[in-house]
Amino acid sequence: MTGCRLWSSWRGTPPAADIDEARWVVADVESSGLDPARDRLLAIAAVAVHFDDAARPGGAGRLPRPRIVLGDSLELRLRQPEAALDRPDKVNILVHGIGVGAQRSGTEPGEALAAWARFIGRSPLVGFHSDFDRRLIDSAGRRQGGSRSTHPWLDLEPLAAVLHDDPRHHPLDHWLQQQGIACLARHQAAADALATAELLLTLWPAVRRRCDGRFRSVEDLARGHRFLAGRG
């Protein structure tokens, strides 16, 4: 089966309003560079955060505290085209640790992206500086003949800024240190996804003091970063 056919499953993405409030997916990516429009997706990793017995949208119940489910996780490395491996970016490889051999032996891109689409299902997505992750995944999808995903993304960077009334644009390392979270291997997608999920859990009590905890409400809370004095 060709990559384009495998990736076509992405086109069945449900409407953004029809999301699974009981399961959020925290994701991280590794890339060949910092330009999501030009550079290539090397790896995707994700771990699910479950809200057991969570009330569905429109219900009257309140969401319980989330928990990370390590058994509900995914890690994918995408096979890269040979032309891209002729002159590997050694500095970039030192950052993420995905060498030429690993890039050559990864999963065929269409198959990997189809597996990603199946894994996330109707779950909303969470990341740190998540616009980069979203754009990189969408760009990889378009190369496989797919279309832009409609899944909503929650960015923890502005959310943390709002919750701490801090207008500065801090990197992930700042918030991990501030919250006492140890990351096993920074710039390794699976480890970064897990650390980001742990950050969501440490922020959750403050989230619940400000909103009802539903995904759309948390999204709205994060958008409040625009009103922080001094936020550039």
pLDDT at 86 over 80: no
Average pLDDT over residues 95-113: 73
Q: What is the pLDDT of residue 203?
A: 97
Domain of 199, in residue numbers: 3-225
pLDDT at 166 over 50: yes
CATH of the domain at 186: 3.30.420.10
Measured CA distances, 99 to 91, 150, 153, 195 (Å) = 11, 32, 29, 23
Q: What is the pLDDT of residue 8?
A: 45
pLDDT at 208 over 80: yes
Average pLDDT over residues 214-225: 96
**Which is it for strands 23-31 and 125-127: parallel, antiparallel or unpaired?**
parallel
Q: What is the pLDDT of residue 53?
A: 61
Q: What is the pLDDT of residue 227?
A: 94
Could you tell me if residue 130 is inside a domain? yes
State the CB neighbour count (10 A cutoff) for residue 192.
25
Could you tell me if residue 231 is inside a domain? no
Q: What is the pLDDT of residue 232?
A: 78
Q: What is the pTM of this model?
A: 0.85
Q: What is the pLDDT of residue 60?
A: 46
* Domains identified in the chain, total number: 1
State the CB neighbour count (10 A cutoff) for residue 91.
7
Residue 117 tokens, joined: 């689409």
**Distance from first CA to last CA of the chain, Å, rounded?**
47
- Among the listed residues 67, 39, 51, the one whose alpha carbon sits nearest the alpha carbon of residue 202: 67
Could you tell me if residue 48 is inside a domain? yes
Can you list the positions of beta strands (E) in the chain? 23-31, 41-50, 67-77, 125-127, 153-155
Q: What is the pLDDT of residue 155?
A: 98
Position 96 confidence tier, pLDDT thresholds 50, 70, 90 = low
Could you tell me if residue 162 is inside a domain? yes
pLDDT digits (tens, 9 = 90+) for 111-127: 999 999 999 999 999 99
C-alpha 201/C-alpha 156 separation (Å) is 11
Could you tell me if residue 110 is inside a domain? yes
Could you tell me if residue 77 is inside a domain? yes
pLDDT, mean over the chain: 84
pLDDT digits (tens, 9 = 90+) for 53-85: 644 444 445 557 899 999 999 999 998 775 555
Could you tell me if residue 42 is inside a domain? yes
Residues 6+ apart with CB under 8 A from 147: 10, 11, 141
Position 156 confidence tier, pLDDT thresholds 50, 70, 90 = very high
CA 80 to chain centre: 21
C-alpha 150/C-alpha 192 separation (Å) is 24
Could you tell me if residue 99 is inside a domain? yes
> What percent of the residues of the chain are helix, what percent strand, and what percent coil, each to the nearest 5?
45, 15, 40
pLDDT at 4 over 50: no
